[in-house]
Amino acid sequence: MAKREEHTVIDLFAGCGGLSLGLYQAGWSGLFAIEKNPFAFETLKANLIDKKKHFNWPQWLPQTPHDINEVLENYKAQLEGLRGKVDLVAGGPPCQGFSMAGKRVEDDVRNNLVFSYIKFIDLVRPKIILFENVKGFTYAFDKKKNGDAIPYSQKVIEGLKGLNYNVKPYIIDFSKYGVPQRRNRFILVGVQESIGTPDKFEAMLESYKDSFLRKKGLTANTTLCEAISDLLQSNGEIPTPDRKGFKSGIYGIEESNYQKLLRGDYVENHIVPDSHSFAKHTEDKSTCYKNLLANYEIRGKRIDGDARKKWNIKQRSITILDPNTISPTITGHPDDYLHYCEPRIMTVRECARIQSFPDWYEIKKKYTTGGKMRKIEVPRYTQVGNAIPPLFAELAGIVLKQII
């Protein structure tokens, strides 16, 4: 019997592993992943290194968090030695400096990681490239002040073309591919000129989509209710196993094929979903939330500005989620959204469900953080909010195999 051909991948800026998980499910074989933050790396390691043995990790690279610039400096010869052995380099640098939802800081030092990315590609020379970032990556900083300013997306495109890659940029809404969330992202696909072009990537996503989702029992349009209605607080509560002093919800009745898929066989050995711990709201906030659910009729639209005073909303804004449509973009800020029928914010597991993480994928380390620690810690909510939805990553992995 012929040995199944392996398709090899390196995941850069891997985060908690959403992209790697999808590629694993699509049959890719991981070589290693580079992620600087120890919180996110702990989640990646627990699930994909220890549990699923996804990576054939090289002996020369410790299985620890790594800064990409240190890897480039300390392992240049080993990276060059991988030429001809790597089918895909996937992943994109941190997006916070480019995000339209944030402050768009031009001098955010993380923005320069795009050049580290290009250096990595230059050393390894994979057959194909999958680069992801926020839509704001395609907009130049201060275009009004500097008419010659070009967006970082163009800098990446030009850099890869200089390395003899054919490249094609896309703006893709993951909700078109079964993810119950409105999430537009910049996707750049690069293919070595000697192999071909990436021009049909999106068309292939469309052509494979229906059969891909049908095999999973899904449709292209999954509502928020279909994603998380089995995770209600009213199902009952028990003490959170890994968060002293907090309560977690227990599983309710499975109510959709999406829930069936993501629950898998995890529920056979677990009463409590992982990372399904409820926040402790103040009495004032709970009253506000109850009032909004009872009397504020608009769902799925942000409440901000003067309306905040009228409804006694203390935070910058909040959106009451609509159970009958897809979710807005999941972020690392849990206070952004109010549950559609319970006076509380979402749990980490509910956010992970919306991001299409299966329930067996356990999110590690702190639930939340704040203040100055935001710069160095990536808690569970942020890990999930920063991730690429594994469901889309799996479909992309199937398509990329065909491109090779």
| 225 carries an active-site annotation | no
Give me the catalytic one of 95, 225, 288, 351.
Answer: 95
Cα 11 to Cα 20: distance, rounded to the nearest angstrom: 7
Q: What is the DSSP string of 342-399?
A: SSSBPPHHHHHHHTT--TTS---S-S---GGGGGT---HHHHHHHSPPHHHHHHHHHH
CA–CA separation, 349 and 276 (whole Å): 5
The CA distances from residue 357 to 21, 115, 257, 353, 391, in Å, are 9, 30, 14, 5, 8
Q: Strands, DSSP E only, in 240-289?
A: 247-249
Query: 215's torsion region: left (phi>0), alpha (psi -120 to 50) or beta?
Result: alpha
Helical ranges in 216-278 per DSSP H: 224-228, 257-263
Phi, psi of 74 (to 5 degrees): -90, -20
Kind of pairing between the strands at 337-338 and 318-320: parallel
Catalytic residue ranges: 95
